[in-house]
Amino acid sequence: MLQRLKDIFATPSTLPLESAAPLDMEAAPVHIAAAALLVHAAGIDGTIEEREADLLARITSRHFGLSAAEATFLLEQAHLAADEANDLYRFTSQINANFSPAHKLNLIELVWQIVLADAIIDDYEANLLRRLAGLLYVSDKDVGAAKHRAQQKLDLKED
């Protein structure tokens, strides 16, 4: 299951939209950790807007290779985990232990997509990206490239 998640982050565009087998979320805390970071990014500016919630659902389904029901369950677990967390280390330590640098960079790009969903980067969101980059050992150059790719995917003008 862990290899499945790594494969998902490595090549999101080649993955099926539906999962072949039910995902055992109890056995996959790294799934919840990655999704919790996305949920945290969506709500860090105070509210999760409809556009951000829709994007969260699409990203969770597509990039994790989950059915709609599995994606909903994962997001519920991620919301609970994000609400209980005092810091990001709980999530980033699991990701550092299980993701390659390329997988971590892909996660940063997904966070950028969530942050850019409303086309406004607020100070809390910018700070979150800086902290995540540091905790995941992703260089500023790579974070900037991930932002650029996220803008292209969301069809936003660069700033």
Dihedral (C-alpha) 27, 17, 43, 153: value to the nearest 10 degrees? 140
Structural domains in the chain, sorted by start:
2-6+26-153 (1.10.3680.10)
In order, the DSSP letters of 134-149 are HHTT--HHHHHHHHHH
In order, the DSSP letters of 35-84 are HHHHHHHHHTTS---HHHHHHHHHHHHHHHT--HHHHHHHHHHHHHHHHH
- Cβ atoms of 113 and 59 within 8 Å: the answer is yes
The per-residue pLDDT for 104 is 96
* pLDDT tens by residue, 130-150: 999 999 999 999 999 999 999
- How far apart are alpha carbons 120 and 141 in whole angstroms? 21
Residue 129 pLDDT grade (very low, low, confident, very high; cuts 50, 70, 90):
very high
- How far apart are alpha carbons 108 and 125 in whole angstroms? 12
The per-residue pLDDT for 24 is 52
Residue 152 pLDDT grade (very low, low, confident, very high; cuts 50, 70, 90):
very high
